[in-house]
Structure 1
Amino acid sequence: MSRYRRTQGSTFFFTVVLADRSSTLLADHVDRLRRIYQTVQQRRPFETVAICILPDHLHAIWSLPKNDSDFSSRWNLIKGGFSRGLEAQERSASKSLKREKGIWQRRYWEHAIRDDADLERHVDYIHFNPVKHGLVTRVRDWSLSSFHRYVDQGTLPVDWGGDMRDIAGQFGE
Structure 2
Amino acid sequence: MSSPRLRQGRVSEIGYFYILTTVVDGRRRLFEDEGNAELVIDALRHVERSGRSRSLAWVVMPDHVHWLMELRRGTLATCMNVFKSYSSRKLGVGRVWQHGYYDHAVRNDESLERQARYIVENPLRAGLAKKRGEYPYAWCRWDR
- The answer for the alignment partner of 1:76 in structure 2 is 81
Confirm or deny: 8 A CA contact 1:51 1:146 kept in the other structure: yes
Q: 1:87 to 1:117 in 2, by over 3 A?
A: closer
Opposite residue 55 of structure 2, the aligned amino acid is T
Q: 1: distance between equivalents of 2:20 and 2:40?
A: 16
The 8 Å contact of residues 15 and 57 in structure 1, kept in 2 or not, is answered as yes
Whether 2:31 is the aligned partner of 1:31: answer no
Q: For residues 143 and 71 of structure 1, do their structure 2 counterparts lie closer, same or farther at Cα, with a shift above 3 Å needed?
A: same
User: Where in structure 2 are the equivalents of 1:99-118 lying within 5 Å?
Assistant: 101=95, 103-118=96-111
| Closer, same or farther: CA 11–138 of 1 in aligned 2, 3 Å | same
Residue equivalent to 1:11: 17
TM-score normalised per structure 2:
0.76
Between the aligned partners of 1:41 and 1:26, the Cα distance in structure 2 is 24
Cα distance change, pair 82–73 in 1 and its aligned pair in 2 (3 A): same
Distance 1:35 1:127, change over 3 A: closer
Q: RMSD of the TM alignment (CA)? A: 2.2
TM-score (normalised: structure 1): 0.65
Matches for 1:67-146 after TM superposition, within 5 Å: 68=73, 70-84=75-89, 86-88=92-94, 101=95, 103-146=96-139
More strand by percentage: 2
- Distance, in Å, in 1 between the alignment partners of 2:32 and 2:85 is 14
Alignment match, 2:8? none
Aligned residue for 2:27, secondary structure, equals coil
Point out the structure with max Rg over C-alpha.
Answer: 1
Percent identity between matched residues is: 25
How has the CA–CA distance of structure 1 residues 126 and 27 changed in structure 2, closer, same or farther, with 3 Å as cutoff?
farther
Q: Residues of 2 paired with 1:15 and 1:37: CA distance?
A: 12
Please tell me the residue identity of whatever aligns with 1:114.
R
